[in-house]
Every structure is written in structure tokens, then in C-alpha cells.
Amino acid sequence: MPGDLDEAHALHRAVLAEGTAFITTVEELDALGGVAYRRLVFEEIRRTAGAAMWVARHGGRLVGWLSVRPGPLAQMRHCGKIEVMVAADARGRGVGTALLAACVAWAEQEPSLTKLGLAVFDDNQRALGLYRRFGFVQEGHRPDEYRSADGRYRGDYLMGRRV
Ligand SMILES: CC(C)(COP(=O)(O)OP(=O)(O)OC[C@H]1O[C@@H](n2cnc3c(N)ncnc32)[C@H](O)[C@@H]1OP(=O)(O)O)[C@@H](O)C(=O)NCCC(=O)NCCS
């Protein structure tokens, strides 16, 4: 739906403003071009094999979205990279589970994909629990991979799952 992208973008900004789960800042997202950038990404998703996006709505409001996009190079096209977020006041109620279930079921049928992958901060326990429940396994740990503006270091796990 046309309104989905506006709401998905607003949710992305709100989640980035929390400053906990993603490395991108709101300013960095805005610098990419706002909703116009979101539309470009969505058009790319529409024309790319192995790419898709789901939104979750509750009471008419968009409360979550998930995108899966393979890498741009030929040797990356079998692996769909997942990005997922749920509105702060809608977490812990199964929205992320529903989005990931839809993605995994779709990916199992998608001929161009043989793997799903993602990166997640090593202290994001809720997200780690969600991914593990869906069979994602830890493939790597990168301690101190990121340094936030306050000087704090954070690491991430690379996780993957065959489809
Ligand atoms: C991580 C995230 C996507 C998970 O989505 P979510 O909707 O909160 O996840 P779910 O509700 O499906 O599952 C989370 C918890 O709710 C529980 N749950 C699932 N379905 C439930 C239901 N129907 N009723 C009650 N609880 C439920 C799960 O057992 C799980 O428990 P946990 O907190 O011990 O892990 C979401 O919390 C989020 O957007 N966080 C901020 C952004 C982020 O971290 N994105 C991922 C970056 S890699």
C-alpha cells in the first residue's frame, strides 16, 4: 500500500532515535534522502529476486516491518540479509515472530535464496532470542566492532540460517 512506506520510514526513524539496536543514526538515515530514499529502496526490492518486505499492522497502524535483500554482487545473491523492527509499544507480543515466520516461509520457497543472514548487537537479547527460535545460528562474533558517540564499544554477532 502506498501509505506503508511513509509509516515504515517513520517507524525506522523512531527506532533509530532509541539509539540501541542499529548503528545508523537518525541524521544518517535522513541524509540518505528521507521517504524518497525509502521509495527507491522499495523499488529495488520489487525488481530484485530474493528481496521482499513485510509490514505488520495492528488496528490500522503499522507496528513493524521486515525486509530481506540479497547482496548486490553475483556471489552474494543466494543470501538474503534481514532487517527487522517493531514499534517500542508493540514489542513482546509476537509481531517480530509473525514477521520472521512470514519471511522464513517465503524464503524456503524462493528459488534464488539458499541462506538468510543478519547482524545483531551482541547485547540485543530479545532479537537474539527471536533469531535463535527460528533456527539462526551464530557464525561469528565481532567484539568492539562499533564505537558509539559516547565512546562505548559494542560488538555484534553474525547469524545465518539455511533455507
Ligand atoms: C527484536 C524485535 C524485532 C522483536 O520483535 P518483537 O515483536 O518484540 O518480538 P516477539 O514479541 O515476537 O518475541 C519477543 C518476545 O515476546 C514473546 N512472545 C512472542 N509471541 C508472543 C505472544 N503472542 N504473546 C506474548 N508474548 C509473546 C516471545 O516469547 C519473546 O520473548 P522474549 O522477550 O523472552 O524474547 C523487536 O523487539 C524490536 O524491534 N526491537 C528493536 C529493534 C531491533 O532490535 N531490531 C533487530 C535488530 S538486529
Cβ(16) – ligand 1 distance below 6 Å: no
Compute, in angstroms, the gap from residue 94 CA to the centroid of ligand 1.
6
What pLDDT shows up at residue 3?
82
CATH number at 2-162: 3.40.630.30
Cβ(125) – ligand 1 distance below 6 Å: no
Mean pLDDT of 106-119: 98
**Nearest atom within ligand 1 for CA of residue 100:** 12
Going from the C-alpha of 59 to that of each of 56, 62, 63, 90, 159, the distances in angstroms are 10, 8, 9, 12, 33
* Whole-prediction pTM: 0.94
Query: Which tens digit of pLDDT belongs to each residue from 84-97?
Result: 999 999 999 999 99
DSSP-derived secondary structure for 90-157: GTTSSHHHHHHHHHHHHHHH-TT-SEEEEEEETT-HHHHHHHHHTT-EEEEEEEEEEE-TTS-EEEEE
Cβ(127) – ligand 1 distance below 6 Å: yes
Task: Sketch the domain layout of the chain as residue ranges.
Answer: 2-162
What does residue 65 show for φ and ψ, rounded to 5 degrees? -150, 155
